């Protein structure tokens, strides 16, 4: 297994040490079912917002609940491997809840990244972000694409 891929409890301990060492943690979350140019742009820009970029990927079960029974296309283990192989990504973990609120509470990032399509909208994570003193940053994506657009239609 890639050394960037961590269980949540282990990653929470790593994040605590990083924070104590003065590192600014950035967290990006999503399904990342088919890795595409929009994801790559998001990660490259997110990394510039801090010292350490952590990516939280929805588990297969949470993706099915969000996207339907045909998804994910790429299974969790392979998605985590793909994400961990990206240069700007420092750590990767998964979460099984429908929102990353619990993961945010465990990692306590200073910055939580969302795609620019969320800008101006109320995000489900806003309560937990406020309680830990983190800010949400909405990153505009120039090359607009999505897994739903790329996925084969049945």
The CATH number of residue 70's host domain is 3.40.50.620
Residue 103 lies in a domain: yes
Is residue 152 very low, low, confident or very high in pLDDT (cuts 50, 70, 90)? low
Residue 16 lies in a domain: yes
What would the pLDDT profile of 37-66 be if each residue is shown by its tens digit?
889 999 999 999 999 999 999 999 999 999
Q: Identify the H or E element spanning 140.
A: none
* C-beta separation of 94 from 58 below 8 A: yes
pTM for the whole thing?
0.91
Which residue, among 84, 69, 110, 68, has the nearest Cα to 32 in the 3D structure? 84
Residue 100 lies in a domain: yes
Is residue 149 very low, low, confident or very high in pLDDT (cuts 50, 70, 90)? low
Residue 151 lies in a domain: no
Q: How far apart are CA 27 and CA 15, in angstroms?
A: 11
* C-beta separation of 106 from 8 below 8 A: yes
> Above pLDDT 70, what percent of the chain?
92
Q: Identify the H or E element spanning 56.
A: strand 52-58
Range of the domain at 127: 8-143
Q: How far apart are CA 143 and CA 139, in angstroms?
A: 12
Domain count, the chain: 1
The token duo for 106 is 């465990």
């Amino acid at each position: 297994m890639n050394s960037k891929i961590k269980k949540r409890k282990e990653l929470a301990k790593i994040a605590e040490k990083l924070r104590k060492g003065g590192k600014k943690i950035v967290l990006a979350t999503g399904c990342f079912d088919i890795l595409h140019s929009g994801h790559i742009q998001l990660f490259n820009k997110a990394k510039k917002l801090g010292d350490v970029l952590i990516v939280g990927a929805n588990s297969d079960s949470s993706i099915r609940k969000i996207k339907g029974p045909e998804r994910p296309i790429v299974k969790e283990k392979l998605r985590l491997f793909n994400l961990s192989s990206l240069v700007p990504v420092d750590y990767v973990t998964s979460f099984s809840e429908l929102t990353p609120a619990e993961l945010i509470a465990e990692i306590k990032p200073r910055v939580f990244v969302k795609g620019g399509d969320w800008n101006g909208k109320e995000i489900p994570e806003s309560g937990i972000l406020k309680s830990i003193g983190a800010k949400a940053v909405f990153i505009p994506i120039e090359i607009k694409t999505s897994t739903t657009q790329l996925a084969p239609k049945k």
